[in-house]
Structure 1
């Protein structure tokens, strides 16, 4: 009995948490690659091609053992649209804003909204300590974003908030879709949606060849890490409530902040370190007592 309880704890608690934390790390790395690219839309367009081709064999294998009902295909169209809008807004946000400013705002919107929607729409629940963890994560992420906004810097913040709302939408939507579509197939559909959304912008830019020549290594890595990060998160969602896991994914904000400090040389201060501690504490509260 004790062994079964231990195995159940590992499967239902520790494994989803580990997947989400790894997902957050991957997410911060490919966002760094995007920020360093020449043309953000073209870079992301190339990564979608890599992602589709790399993960296609796993999708074919998955579909051999999972049949999808018509409802599932309809839901996939919705997730393709949401992710396509997300990637367009993401490219624009990184074009006009600093990573250390916009990344925390983009990632800080959903930790509060997703648990609320999970409770209200999906019938999930969090303990008092879980909500306290959410509050710490949101406070930490928003502190990282630097909310003393100058008039000239409002536009990146507005775009970052829009991205955060889209992240909230597709996170809850994809949790529902997982009841009809397996994770690898769902992720592949998001990649196709992203590619379709970016194609007109990328082809019109005239920078497809130039971007590949300048950044083909990070394009290849980003094409593996970006969908890989979301696949890990989708498998975690398959095992645990979205209201608990979505805020924990924002540990990626801590990774992103330190990448911005050491690689992009963006200005940071002691406040950023304190904010990272808040986020980490919130993740621990959610993971253990949420």
Structure 2
């Protein structure tokens, strides 16, 4: 079962990097993400109805669900803002590099999970690799402000928070119920800004294909991860999900034609090494 969990996490990282690429390439990030959420809700609704009776509605369960929806809502709003002002190669490593450090700490503190010394070494290697990959752009770059990196850091904090909360919510709800609740919350959070933008028609005309794909890939990637954490400790799996940073680097090379030096190739190998250490000896 652990091997299956690892495979699900690696697949989740790959899928996540693809739909983030689509988001960055979109015209209006808020509208694009809003339309993707609508597609996600529609696609998952039949499955949600089937699994509804397996839920256990208690006071604790409802509080966890509300916390999850709130964290995901903050995440999706901050994500749109981050990709509006920041480059993919700048903000993606920062966003994805925050949770590998925080989630194991939170899992140890709140979920009674543990990591071996080798597991912590793997976490440190992953975080170090992601920091190198981000090229330490938390300082001013070419006269611009630190707004994009700070927004990316806030996104990472939301990711760390909702991963732990969602792990706890799975004790009361099937995976699909947790996912659909967050999708609906995300859609509602983005609705007002999307309607006021008057950019819905243009976004649909230009990016309708990637909107359809994003509407499937965005929940699909997290669905893979939620299934994984139901099989193995989240402290071990959450850092492994950051293999998506490596996938994002490769997508930048072959899709966005970004200039990648030896440093980025090296850091991608470093992250992969950390993931292998964490997976085998964590």
TMscore range, shorter length: over 0.9
Match of 2:199 in 1: 207
Q: CA deviation at 1:142?
A: 1.0
Which residue number corresponds to residue 7 of structure 2?
18
The answer for unaligned runs of 5 or more in structure 1 is: 1-10
Q: In the alignment, what sits opposite 2:208? A: 216
Match of 2:127 in 1: 138
Cα deviation digits, residues 233-272 of structure 1 (max 9, x gap): 1111111111101000000110011111221122321111
Output aligned runs, 1:233-252, within 5 Å: 233-252=225-244
Match of 2:47 among 58, 61, 64: 58
Contact 2:243 2:272 in 1 (8 A): yes
Q: Identify which of 146, 150, 158 aligns with 1:166.
A: 158
Deviations 1:142-183 (A, max 9, x none): 111110532515111111011111111111111111111111
Q: How does 1:245-264 map to 2 (within 5 A)?
A: 245-264=237-256
Q: Is the 8 A contact 2:75 2:158 kept in 1?
A: yes
Q: How far apart are 1:99 and its partner, in Å? A: 0.2
- Report runs of 4+ in structure 1 exceeding 4 Å deviation: none
Measured on the aligned residues, the alpha-carbon RMSD in Å equals 1.1
Q: State which drifts further: 59-68 or 190-199.
A: 59-68
Deviation at 1:70, TM superposition (A): 4.0
> Partners in 2 of 1:275 and 1:45 — Cα distance?
33
Aligned-pair distance for 1:67? 4.0
1:123 equivalent among 108, 112, 135: 112
> For residue 75 of structure 2, what is the aligned residue in structure 1?
86
**1:73 shift after superposition:** 2.6
How many aligned residue pairs are there? 279
Q: Distance in 2 between matches of 1:42 and 1:235?
A: 29
Match of 2:86 among 88, 97, 101: 97
Q: Which moved more, 1:68-77 or 1:196-205?
A: 68-77
Distance in 2, matches of 1:170 and 1:89, equals 14
Q: Give the structure 2 partner of residue 194 of structure 1.
A: 186
Aligned partners of 2:54 and 2:173 also within 8 Å: no
Q: 1:183 aligns with which of 175, 186, 190?
A: 175
Taking structure 1 as the reference length, what is the TM-score of the superposition? 0.94
Structure 2: segments with no counterpart, 5+ residues: none
SS state at 2:149 partner: helix
Match of 2:261 in 1: 269
**In the aligned structure 2, how far is the partner of 1:113 from the partner of 1:66?**
29
Q: Report the alpha carbon displacement of residue 64 of structure 1 after superposing the two structures with TM.
A: 3.4
- Determine the C-alpha separation between the residues in 2 that align with 1:78 and 1:126: 26
Q: How far 1:84 moved relative to its partner?
A: 0.6
TM-score by length of 2: 0.96
Cα distance, 1:126 vs structure 2? 0.6
Are 1:286 and 2:269 matched, yes or no?
no
